[in-house]
């Protein structure tokens, strides 16, 4: 199985789940360019622990020749495609990389899959609820909701979804797509809301909440997402799309308050004041979608998946992980792991 973007947040959790917990018996070939968001140290122990069942290849999915070589050399029959530029704020400041990786990179992977001429059993594409745009106070996104993306990030993901579906309809490529809501959990790069708030709160730095903090996201613990992906890959109908969500709707401000309160209950802040006092309202994100919420009844009804973590239990586990892995945080923030990458992978 080719897994792209396996050194990122969800990819790391997925590869660990696949090898350590699931019934997958094959070999994982992890192709990752190692951008600022990719950290191969996350999976370094698998190289010894799983022998040739885990292979890492440093490559850019925008490099068509490199992608073709991987498919041929490792006789890829299954693809799980995570690699992407994933941060909305970065896409607003500098959209270029999003167009290249998310659209052109996906196109390259699809073309290489087409070249396998019938030997490809599945191309699973990981996508987002952001392709649907924004909801008002009520309602849920279903698989039939028309696409209406707001940011360069979500527009690039929408384009890649359309390409994947087009390759199914035009060339008969066996594909499945999952559109998932906001993930949180171990190994998330600390530019995203949950880890940023946990770490700032621990360090008594301001907690920057965009706008009035009333925007709503539907949070899902990352391992529940991994289980959903594997379920869809094994049992999902080819050509179909599945929504994945957490029934974890909450306003940003309430989530940040929850993080502050859990941290306060675990360890008193050095300044001995409630961490909620660190919350600072800042300028809103341009084009900020108001609300996301997923109807995942198709996945629940047809394939029997549902989330196992509640928002409370998942956030607590996540906080515990960041408390126990301060060294990981220091390394991804300091750029120290960049030198580790140079040493091991020569770039
Ligand atoms: P991430 O930013 O943590 O990781 C992305 C990974 O892709 C990194 O390892 C990076 O090095 C790699 N990468 C980037 N450009 C590449 C390229 N050109 N070639 C090869 N590798 C490249 O992202 P994430 O949060 O783990 O998200 C993974 C996927 O899931 C993305 O497709 C994203 O759109 C989707 N998704 C994310 C969420 C979420 O809440 N994080 C929710 C729904 C869907
Ligand atoms: O919905 C799925 C998407 O979730 C994925 O497709 C994206 O890859 C992933 O990054 C995430 O996008 P968001 O923009 O929703 O995630 P982020 O953590 O950046 O922001 C979550 C919410 O918190 C959003 O409403 C903006 C707000 N926010 C974010 C940051 C970083 C703040 O208020 N302050 C912040 O500092």
| CATH code of the domain covering residue 297 | 3.40.50.720
60 within some domain: yes
Tokens, residue 64: 């068509």
Annotated catalytic residue, options 32, 60, 85, 129: 129
The rounded distance, in Å, linking the Cα atoms of 58 and 60 is 7
| Catalytic site includes residue 153 | yes
The rounded distance, in Å, linking the Cα atoms of 319 and 255 is 13
| Catalytic site includes residue 187 | no
Q: Which helix (H) or strand (E) holds 241?
A: strand 241-244
38 within some domain: yes
For the chain, what is the domain count? 1
Residue nearest to atom 16 of ligand 2 (CA): 192
Give whole-number Cα distances, 210 to 155, 191, 214, in Å: 21, 14, 9
Question: Is the pTM here over 0.95, yes or no?
Answer: yes
> How much is the pLDDT for 347?
60
> How much is the pLDDT for 270?
87
194 within some domain: no
220 and 246 in contact (C-beta within 8 Å)? Answer: yes
> How much is the pLDDT for 4?
99
The rounded distance, in Å, linking the Cα atoms of 287 and 266 is 36
**Ligand 2 interacting residues, C-beta cut-off 6 A:** 86-88, 128-130, 181-182, 192-193, 196, 208-210, 215, 217, 252, 285, 292
Which residues contact residue 191 at a Cβ distance below 8 angstroms, ignoring those fewer than 6 apart? 87, 89, 90
111 within some domain: yes
Pick out the chain residues at pLDDT < 50: none
129 and 181 in contact (C-beta within 8 Å)? Answer: yes
> How much is the pLDDT for 259?
98
88 CB less than 6 Å from ligand 1?
no
Tokens, residue 31: 């192709």
209 within some domain: no
281 within some domain: no
Ligand 2 atom having least distance to the Cα of 128: 6
110 CB less than 6 Å from ligand 1?
no
203 within some domain: no
Residue nearest to atom 23 of ligand 2 (CA): 193
> How much is the pLDDT for 344?
79
| Catalytic site includes residue 171 | no
249 and 215 in contact (C-beta within 8 Å)? Answer: no
193 CB less than 6 Å from ligand 1?
no
pLDDT tens for each residue of 72-103: 999 999 999 999 999 999 999 999 999 999 99
Annotated catalytic residue, options 32, 60, 85, 130: 130
138 within some domain: yes
The rounded distance, in Å, linking the Cα atoms of 236 and 307 is 17
> How much is the pLDDT for 106?
98
Distance 74 CA to ligand 2 centre (A): 36
Distance 237 CA to ligand 2 centre (A): 30
R_g (Cα) of the chain, nearest Å? 20
The one-character DSSP state at 103 is I
Ligand 2 atom having least distance to the Cα of 183: 4
Ligand 2 atom having least distance to the Cα of 89: 19
Select from 213, 218, 224, 217 the least CA-distant residue to 318.
224
Tokens, residue 52: 């040739």
Q: Which ligand is nearest to the CA of 212?
A: 2
Residue 280 — φ and ψ, nearest 5°? -130, 125
Annotated catalytic residue, options 17, 54, 71, 153: 153
Distance 88 CA to ligand 2 centre (A): 7
User: CA dihedral in degrees (238, 156, 77, 178; nearest 10)?
Assistant: -40
Distance 192 CA to ligand 2 centre (A): 6
74 and 26 in contact (C-beta within 8 Å)? Answer: no
Residue nearest to atom 34 of ligand 2 (CA): 209
**Domain limits at 176?**
2-186+219-248+291-309+335-345
Tokens, residue 50: 């799983």
Distance 38 CA to ligand 1 centre (A): 8
The rounded distance, in Å, linking the Cα atoms of 123 and 144 is 21
> How much is the pLDDT for 338?
77
């Amino acid at each position: 199985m080719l897994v792209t973007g396996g050194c990122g947040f969800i990819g790391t959790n997925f590869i660990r789940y696949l090898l350590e917990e699931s019934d997958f018996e094959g070999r994982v070939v992890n192709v990752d360019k190692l951008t600022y968001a990719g950290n191969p140290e996350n999976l370094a122990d698998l190289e010894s622990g799983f022998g040739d069942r885990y292979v890492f290849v440093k490559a850019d999915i925008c490099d068509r020749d490199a992608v073709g070589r991987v498919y041929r050399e490792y006789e890829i029959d299954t693809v799980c495609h995570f690699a992407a530029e994933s941060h909305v704020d970065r896409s607003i400041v500098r959209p270029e990389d999003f167009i290249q990786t998310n659209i052109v990179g996906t196109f390259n992977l699809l073309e290489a899959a087409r070249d396998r001429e019938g030997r490809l059993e599945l191309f699973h594409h990981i996508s987002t609820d952001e392709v649907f745009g924004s909801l008002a106070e009520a309602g849920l996104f279903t698989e039939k909701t028309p696409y209406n993306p707001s940011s360069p990030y979500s527009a690039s993901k929408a384009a890649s979804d359309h390409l994947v579906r087009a390759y199914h309809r035009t060339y008969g490529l066996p594909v499945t797509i999952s559109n998932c809501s906001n993930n949180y959990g171990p190994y998330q790069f600390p530019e995203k809301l949950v880890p940023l708030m946990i770490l700032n709160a621990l360090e008594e730095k301001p907690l920057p909440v965009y706008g009035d903090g009333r925007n709503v996201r539907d949070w899902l613990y990352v391992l529940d997402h991994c289980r959903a992906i594997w379920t869809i890959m094994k049992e999902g109908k080819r050509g179909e799309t599945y929504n994945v969500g957490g029934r974890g709707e909450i306003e940003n401000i309430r989530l940040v308050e929850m993080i502050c309160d859990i941290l306060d209950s675990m360890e008193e802040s050095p300044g001995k004041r409630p961490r909620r006092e660190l919350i600072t309202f800042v300028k809103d994100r341009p084009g900020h979608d108001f609300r996301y919420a997923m109807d995942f009844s198709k996945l629940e009804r047809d394939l029997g998946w549902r989330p196992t973590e509640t928002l409370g239990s998942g956030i607590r586990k996540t906080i515990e992980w960041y408390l126990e892995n301060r060294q990981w945080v220091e390394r991804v923030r300091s750029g120290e792991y960049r030198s580790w990458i140079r040493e091991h992978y020569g770039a």
